[in-house]
Amino acid sequence: MTRLCTHILYRTLIAIAMITVVLIASVVFGVMAQAQTVISNTAVQLQIPDHPEHASVHDMGTEQSLLTGTYSTAAGDLPLAEVYHPAPEIPLGTIARICRDDTRDPRCAYQNK
């Protein structure tokens, strides 16, 4: 009985696969037939816009202040190199030894952020 069921399932699977292939082929054929009516092989000259004013000599624009609008200054600004000190890098082998000895160390805990 199971052999008969397996045979029926196999034939059903083959029929579904064949129907799927025929449907996909017909869709592809339809798309290709439609695309060929839209695209022609005649040459079309491309007109690139030309801007002669950009290359010609003319007067400069009016002067504009860069300080218009909201502008704020702060007293006592320091360069970043004097303020920022990056944390020293610990070699991976050292971290592995620390984690092997003490698993409760915060550097060893996986933080899913």
Question: Tell me: the pLDDT tens digits for 22-71?
Answer: 999 999 888 877 765 556 678 878 888 777 666 677 777 788 777 766 66
**Which tops the pLDDT comparison, 93 or 69?**
93
User: Who contacts 105 (Cβ-Cβ below 8 Å, separation ≥6)?
Assistant: 98, 99
pLDDT of residue 71: 61
Nearest to 109 by CA among 94, 97, 99, 101: 99
pLDDT of residue 2: 72
Distance between CA atoms of 106 and 96, rounded to whole angstroms? 13
pLDDT of residue 39: 60
Predicted structure pTM score: 0.31
pLDDT cut 90: percent of the chain above it:
14
